[in-house]
Amino acid sequence: MKNIALFGSPRAGKSTLAKMITKKYPHYRILAGDTIRIRHAFQQLLPHPYHSRDDHGSSGDFPSFLAELFTHQLAKNQGRVNYIIDTCDITPEQAQKLFRRDDTILLFLGTPHLTAQSHLQEIRKFETSRDWTHLRSDKHLLNHCAQWLNRDQAYAKTCQTLGIWYVDTSFNREQVLKETFDQIEQLNLNREYEPTL
């Protein structure tokens, strides 16, 4: 089985897809971006043995920290478990540089065809009391959604250029996630299978 790196916008379905996978395949572990970002903040004060800075301090940024943590966990567990990364804090260029590996399925989810208002409605529809969005006003989130709409549209084009699998969950989210889950299963069962980009 391959590891899975899920990147993209909030409420595009990353966590839902990750949970679908772990429900059927319990040997997967989720590395959630929100939790790891807290660990990264502590890392800046209390270095861990797997976090090594080069002379330029490049690993001090979150994407590099996440990549180091991912690599460390893979080496530590030696194939006994697989990992799913779930975060919105990585660009396609960073994903290409830091996470493209033979043992990892690289995937972006986004909603490039939603308006900012409809994205806000999707956030409210799927959020829980534990989500950071739950504590934000509609006005604050609407601005956030407008920014993510621009990013989603840019990410969709960049992913196509870089050959990164991009899944548009703007419409029929549950069905699209089910189809994506099926494609991930095929990738894990048959290395010759290629996802629809």
pTM of the model: 0.81
Tokens of 140: 């604050």
- Beta strand 165-168 pairing with 3-8: unpaired
Q: Where are the domains of the chain?
A: 3-189
- Please, what's the largest Cα pairwise distance for the chain? 47
Tokens of 6: 């899920």
- Split at pLDDT 50, 70, 90, the class of 99 is very high
Do residues 72 and 31 touch, judged by C-beta distance below 8 A?
no
Structure confidence by residue, pLDDT tens digits, 133-191: 888 888 988 998 899 999 999 999 999 999 999 999 999 999 999 999 999 999 887 65
Structure confidence by residue, pLDDT tens digits, 151-161: 999 999 999 99
For residue 26, the one-letter residue type is: P
Cβ-based neighbours of 25, under 8 Å, separated by 6 or more:
1, 82
One CATH from 3.40.50.300, 3.40.605.10, 1.20.1290.10, 1.20.120.610 for 3-189: 3.40.50.300
